[in-house]
Amino acid sequence: MLQYIINSVLKSIEKHIEDNIKRKKRGSLLFPEDFSDMGSSEAVRLALHRLEKQKIIRRISQGIYVRPVISDYIGEVLPSAEEIAQGIAKRDRIRIIPTGVYALHALGLSSQIPMKLVFLTDGAPREIKLGKRSIKFKKTTPKNLLAKGHISGLVIQALKEIRKDRLTTQEEEKIIELLHKENQKDLKHDIQLAAVWIKKIMQKAIIDD
């Protein structure tokens, strides 16, 4: 009798979670914490595991699920590693900024698709496996996360990766061209965060009033 009651409760929790998931937009990331008000952590874990076995949701990594977008042409479309990183940042209420090869790729300065996406963060350092790819969060100082502009923030990290002695004229011209698209107020703010040699490059994108 007790087991029957337990099974009934678990099925009820599973149904509530399934209904909740189906009301969300396809492609939305799902975390066990999203359903903490529907049951104990173990009950939620079991419910998500069963929904995965039923192919209602897909497990992307430990503790990360999605109800995939379905394309008529290629079938299931899963979130990109970049979207997963942003979803984790939103869940954990942390700041992140791309760095290294990923910053170069995001700016179009490299055609290399990095297998490991590295982000600086004010949250806990960790690495998340996504099949052959991974996301790494590296703890950093608050100053490295103060950039207001998306492009200028990426530029600072990309130039750190390239290094002053390896920067080509073509790369510098491309960076200045990209910075012209940045909000001037944000650009002027972010210039003050950069190393001297990076600051000199970024100042070339300032438009005189």
Domain membership of residue 163 (yes or no) is yes
Tell me the per-residue pLDDT of 74-111, one tens digit each, with 9 for 90 and over. Answer: 888 888 889 999 999 999 999 999 988 899 999 999 88
Instruction: Note whether 100 and 157 are within 8 A (CB).
Output: yes
* 10 plus 62 within the same structural domain: yes
85 & 136 share domain: yes
The answer on 126 and 97 residing in a single domain is: yes
- If asked whether residues 124 and 89 sit together in one domain, one would say yes
Total tally of structural domains belonging to the chain: 3
Rounded to the nearest 5 degrees, what angle is found at the Cα of 51, between the Cα atoms of 6 and 66? 135
Q: Are residues 113 and 154 in the same domain?
A: no
Q: Return the biggest CA–CA distance within the chain.
A: 79
Strands (DSSP E) contained in 25-81 are 29-30, 58-61, 64-66, 69-71, 75-77
Residue 137 lies in a domain: yes
Structural domain including 16 reads 2-71
- What's the chain's average pLDDT? 90
pLDDT tens digits, one per residue of 18-53: 899 999 999 999 999 999 898 889 989 999 999 999
